[in-house]
Amino acid sequence: MKRTRRNHSAVFKAKVALATLKGDKTLAEWAEPFEVHANPITQWQIPLQERASAVFAPAAERSESAGPDVKERQAKIGPWAMENDFLATALGRLGDASAKR
């Protein structure tokens, strides 16, 4: 019988990765109580170790790396709004019933 694929939550992955990083047991010894193979555990450890410094970063640094700022987003929205307005009026002139929804 084929076993279905399990999807683990982020909380579970963090819990397992933190437990295994302590180093008091081997990966195989940790894999048994969590009922997970050792390979995913090592894959979960890598991003945890890479992004651990972000937890202790000042709030200003975290907000800068969060993503594009508001001005960049507004600069993209403006042309899209103009395009939507143009298309709405253009479709209204065609007289097509599907365009007047």
Question: How far from the centroid of its chain's Cα atoms is residue 67's Cα?
Answer: 12
- Tell me the mean pLDDT in the region 72-90: 86
- Tell me the mean pLDDT in the region 59-81: 75
61/22: higher pLDDT: 22
Beta-strand ranges (E) seen in the chain are none
Neighbouring residues of 47: CB distance < 8 A, sequence distance ≥ 6: none
pLDDT at 98 over 60: no
**Rounded CA gap, 92 and 94, in Å?**
6
Residue 99: pLDDT band with limits 50, 70, 90? very low
Closest CA to 30 of 13, 47, 46: 13
pLDDT at 43 over 50: yes
Q: Give the global pTM.
A: 0.54
